[in-house]
Chain A
Amino acid sequence: MLKLEGVDAKYDSFKALDGVSLEIDAGELVVLLGANGAGKTTLFNTISGLMKPAAGRITIDGKDVTGRKPSALVQAGVVQCPEGRKLFPGMSVLKNLRLGGYVHRRDRAGMNRTLEHILAMFPILEEKKDQPAGSLSGGQQQMVAVGRALMGRPKLLMLDEPSLGLAPLVVKQVFETVQSINAEGTTVLLAEQNAYAALKIANRAYVIENGKLVMQGDREEMLGNEAVRKAYIGA
C-alpha cells in the first residue's frame, strides 16, 4: 500500500535520506531498524509530509502523494505517532484523543465508536481522561499518543520509537498493543531501537544506516542474520 522509490531528503546540504526505496503491503507489520541518527525519524517525517523529499516518489495505494501536506496525508490514512509523542500538554487526555480524530470531525458517531474502542484498549486513560495530558507519566502519555494516532483511523500507522524511555514492563505492553492493532487490520511501520522485541512481532524488517536502506528480510532471516544480531541485538 505504501511505496517509496528512490526518495532523498536533505537538511540544507546534508543528505539525510539517500535513494530510499521500500514497499509495505496492506496488513503487514514492518520494522525499521537503525541506530540513532541513521534517518528513521527523517524517513517517517518525509512519509508524513512534514519534510518534502528532495527527489523520488511516494505513492499510497498507487496514488502519488509526493510532497503533499501533512494534513492531506492524514486524510489519505497515513498517521504517525511521533517520537517524543508531541501531545498537547495543556489539554485533557480526552481532548487530545478527540483532536486525533480531527479529519473525521464530521462523523461524530464514528469518532465516538473509535474513542470507546481506544479507552477500552487503555483503561487507565478512561480514569485520567479529564487530566491534562502533560501531567501523565511517560507510559501513559505514550498510550495517549498511540490512542491519538488511532483516532485518525489510519490505514498505515507509523510508530516512531514508541518504547523510548519507558519501563521494561510498559515496553512489553506497548509491543503487545502494537501487535493487536496490527491484528485488527491496520498496517504498521514501526521504528525501534529495541530490535529483538520489535522483530519478534514483525513480518519483515528493513535496516537503515546513514540514510540508506542496507538490508531487508523477513523476521527469521533478520533474527538469524549475524550482522543484525551484532549491531542491533547485541548477542
Chain B
Amino acid sequence: MDLFLQQVLNGLTLGSIYGLVALGLTLVYGILHVPNFAHGALYMVGAYVCYFTMSDLGLNYWVAIAAAAVVVAALSVICERLVFHPLRHAPPIHDKIAAIGILLFLEAVVQMYWGADFRRIASPYNQILDIGGLTLPAQRLLIIVGAFSLMGALHLYLKKTMTGATIVAMAQNREGAFLVGIDANRVAMMTFAIAGALAAVAAGLFAPINLVYPAMGHLVLLKAFVIIILGGMGSIPGAIIGGLIIGFSEALGGFYLSSTYKDVIAFVLLVVILSIKPTGLFTKGVR
C-alpha cells in the first residue's frame, strides 16, 4: 500500500509539471488555432535561463525561476510578434511549419552557445520529508505545491478579471471578441507571455530532479500534446486533468509494468481514449 501511495505522489509530481506545460499549449491553441510546436523549446530555454542565473550569476533558486519566467515570456511574445503575427492570414500549415522552425532554431542556438552537455540544477531543498511513512523529497513537494498554486492563480485570472476574460472570449469566438472592442494583438501577446512563463516555471521546478540539455523539451512537448488532445484542444480543466492522468499512469505503469516503457504509456493511453471518445475527454458541448 505504501508503495502504491508513493507512486501516487510521484504521479502527482509528474502530472503537475505536465499540466503546467499543457496549459500554456492549450491557451495558445485557443488563440492561434494551431498547436505551437515551439512550446517545448520555450520550456528548454526556461531551464537554461534558470541554470545560468544560478550558476553564473550566483542568484537564489527562486530569483532564477522568476528570471526564467520573465525571459521566456518575453521570448514567447517575440515569437508571436515576429513569426505568428505576420502569418495570421496565412493558411494554418504555415503556422505549423514556422513553429517547428522556431523549435529547431532555439535548440540550435542553445546548443551552439552552451553545448549539448547534460547539466544539473542543484535544488536548495534537499531534505527528505516523512509523511506518515511516505518519503517525499522536499523538491517534489515544492513542485506539487508550486504547480497547483500557479494553476489556481491562472484560473482566478481567467475567471475573475476582465483581461483574463478577453483571452477566453477570443478563444470562444474570435469575431465576437473583435466586435466588443477587444484588441486582438493585446490578447495574443498576453496569451503568449503567460504560456511562456508557465513553461519556464515548469522547467525551473522540474529541473532539479531532472537534467538540463537542448533536447529536454521533446518528450515533455509530445506528452503535453497527448494531454491537450486527451483533455480536448483548448480546454483548461482538460489540460490539468489530462496532465494528472498522464502523470499517474506513467508513475504507476512505470512501477508496476516496466520502467523501460514508461514513456510509451502516455501514447498508448492516447490511442485507447481516442478510440473510445474521439473528441477528447473535456470537449465543450456547446460551440
Does A162 lie at the interface of the complex (its beta carbon under 8 Å from any beta carbon of B)?
no
Does B22 lie at the interface of the complex (its beta carbon under 8 Å from any beta carbon of A)?
no
Please state if B169 and A99 are interface contacts (CB–CB under 8 Å).
yes
Does A206 lie at the interface of the complex (its beta carbon under 8 Å from any beta carbon of B)?
no
Expressed in whole angstroms, the minimum distance between the Cβ of B29 and any Cβ of chain A is 15
Q: Which residues of A contact B175 (CB under 8 A)?
A: 50, 82, 86
Does A15 lie at the interface of the complex (its beta carbon under 8 Å from any beta carbon of B)?
no
Please state if A70 and B172 are interface contacts (CB–CB under 8 Å).
no
Does B166 lie at the interface of the complex (its beta carbon under 8 Å from any beta carbon of A)?
yes
Expressed in whole angstroms, the minimum distance between the Cβ of A130 and any Cβ of chain B is 13
Please state if A100 and B180 are interface contacts (CB–CB under 8 Å).
yes
Please provide the chain A residues from 119 to 163 with a CB less than 8 Å away from any CB of chain B in the complex. 132, 134-135, 148-149, 151-152
Does B63 lie at the interface of the complex (its beta carbon under 8 Å from any beta carbon of A)?
no
Please state if A70 and B286 are interface contacts (CB–CB under 8 Å).
no
Does B178 lie at the interface of the complex (its beta carbon under 8 Å from any beta carbon of A)?
yes
Please state if A70 and B178 are interface contacts (CB–CB under 8 Å).
yes
* Number of residues on chain A facing chain B (CB within 8 A): 33
Q: Per-position contact with A for B172-201: 1 when CB-CB < 8 Å, else 0?
A: 110111111111100000000000000000
Does A75 lie at the interface of the complex (its beta carbon under 8 Å from any beta carbon of B)?
yes
Expressed in whole angstroms, the minimum distance between the Cβ of B216 and any Cβ of chain A is 35
Q: Per-position contact with B for A102-123: 1 when CB-CB < 8 Å, else 0?
A: 1101000000000000000000
Please provide the chain B residues from 154 to 182 with a CB less than 8 Å away from any CB of chain A in the complex. 162, 165-166, 168-169, 172-173, 175-182
Does A74 lie at the interface of the complex (its beta carbon under 8 Å from any beta carbon of B)?
yes
In the assembled complex, the Cα of A86 lies from the Cα of B180 at a distance in Å of 10
Q: Which of B166, B173, B180 contacts A74 (CB 8 A)?
A: B180
Please provide the chain A residues from 80 to 98 with a CB less than 8 Å away from any CB of chain B in the complex. 80, 82, 85-91, 95, 98
In the assembled complex, the Cα of A135 lies from the Cα of B166 at a distance in Å of 20
Please provide the chain B residues from 95 to 125 with a CB less than 8 Å away from any CB of chain A in the complex. none
Q: Which residues of B contact A190 (CB under 8 A)?
A: none
Please state if A135 and B286 are interface contacts (CB–CB under 8 Å).
yes
Please state if B183 and A89 are interface contacts (CB–CB under 8 Å).
no
Q: Per-position contact with B for A164-185: 1 when CB-CB < 8 Å, else 0?
A: 0000000000000000000000
Quick one: which of B165, B178, B183 has the most chain A CB within 10 A? B178
Q: Decide: A105 near B176, CB < 8 A? Known: A89-B286, A90-B284, A91-B169.
A: no
Please provide the chain B residues from 202 to 237 with a CB less than 8 Å away from any CB of chain A in the complex. none
Q: Which of B166, B172, B179, B183 contacts A90 (CB 8 A)?
A: B172
Q: Per-position contact with A for B270-287: 1 when CB-CB < 8 Å, else 0?
A: 000000000000001011
A88, closest chain B residue (CB): B172
Q: Which of A91, A105, A149 contacts B168 (CB 8 A)?
A: A91
Expressed in whole angstroms, the minimum distance between the Cβ of A158 and any Cβ of chain B is 10
Additional A-B contact list (17), CB under 8 Å, known A50-B178, A100-B180, A149-B179: A48-B179, A49-B178, A70-B181, A79-B179, A79-B180, A80-B179, A82-B176, A86-B176, A88-B177, A89-B284, A89-B287, A90-B284, A91-B165, A102-B162, A102-B180, A132-B286, A148-B180
Interface residues in chain B, defined as those with a beta carbon under 8 Å from any beta carbon in chain A:
162, 165-166, 168-169, 172-173, 175-184, 284, 286-287
Question: What are 30 A-B contacts defined by CB distance under 8 Å?
Answer: A49-B178, A69-B183, A71-B181, A74-B180, A74-B181, A80-B179, A82-B176, A82-B179, A86-B176, A87-B176, A88-B173, A88-B176, A88-B177, A89-B286, A89-B287, A90-B168, A90-B284, A90-B286, A91-B165, A91-B168, A91-B169, A98-B162, A98-B165, A99-B162, A99-B169, A99-B177, A99-B182, A103-B180, A134-B287, A152-B181
